[in-house]
Structure 1
Amino acid sequence: MILVQNEDFDLNTEYEALRQDCPAIGAIVTFVGLVRDFNEGDDVSSLFLEHYPGMTEKVLQGICDQARERWTLNGIRVIHRIGEMHPSDQIVFVGVSSAHRGEAFAACEFIMDFLKTQAPFWKKEQTPEGGRWVDARDSDTSAADRWNELTK
């Protein structure tokens, strides 16, 4: 399940949706990203996210499909919020269920790493100096590149 939405999400609801009382599930790994109140040494009062409707969901689905090709997974849930958010607001949820913890941890990290580098989201921060667009981080690109090296 992939959602791109303005509304917040409930971690317990998403966890229970992954669990589904399935005895084949031995592990559930979740990641929740939060809006920080700082970036590049500046205070951040809000963050506005835009996306490319239709394309964003297609890219996210492709990332999840790649994860399913690499690991045996029972379920994947990805929620990414758009619109205006403030420090400590939830921005992204990635949840993975699997028979084994190693596969669940790896798949969750893989999905998050590629989401950060491939999904068409644009972030604009509000700082005391005004608004600014946020560039991709070299560390995010390096994290995704690591997965590509593992498949060679």
Structure 2
Amino acid sequence: MIDILKESADLYKSFLELEYEKYDAVIKNDINTLDDIVSKEQVYYMKMRGVDQKREKLVDAMGCKGMTLKEIIDTDKIKSNGELIEKYNELSEIIQEVKKINSLCKTLIEVRMHKIDDALVQLGEKDKTYSNTTTENKNNSGKSVMLSKKV
């Protein structure tokens, strides 16, 4: 379990660096770099899924299926392994930092999208963009949908 947590922490540290690069690219409006980073993120997601599958198999083998890592650590099955707790805490901190930077990126992108929508309205071009006006999505009616530069 310690090895899996270490592998996860290392993976998330690298991913966190990529998230900071993404944040810088969003701030600088560097679409090419942002597009490149999004492609790299897909590789990380696949690696994360692989590590997650390893962890799930180990948890099943331990007879702890359905339990969280925190619950497993708190059980008598682990016997207060200090290194395991340390790796768990390290991974938790990294994941919290990833969530924080991801939230900042999301907020910044939403603000920029709002500014683009406002500019389109002022230019009278709002009606010439794709929009979310399906019956399923009444809450977002009128919001423009921006497409990838690859489209």
Fold agreement, TM-score > 0.5 = no
Q: Which has the higher strand share?
A: 1
User: Which one has the largest radius of gyration?
Assistant: 2
Higher relative CO (Cα under 8 Å, sequence separation at least 6) belongs to 1
Q: Which has the higher helix share?
A: 2
TM-score, with normalisation over the residues of structure 2? 0.23
TM-score, with normalisation over the residues of structure 1? 0.23
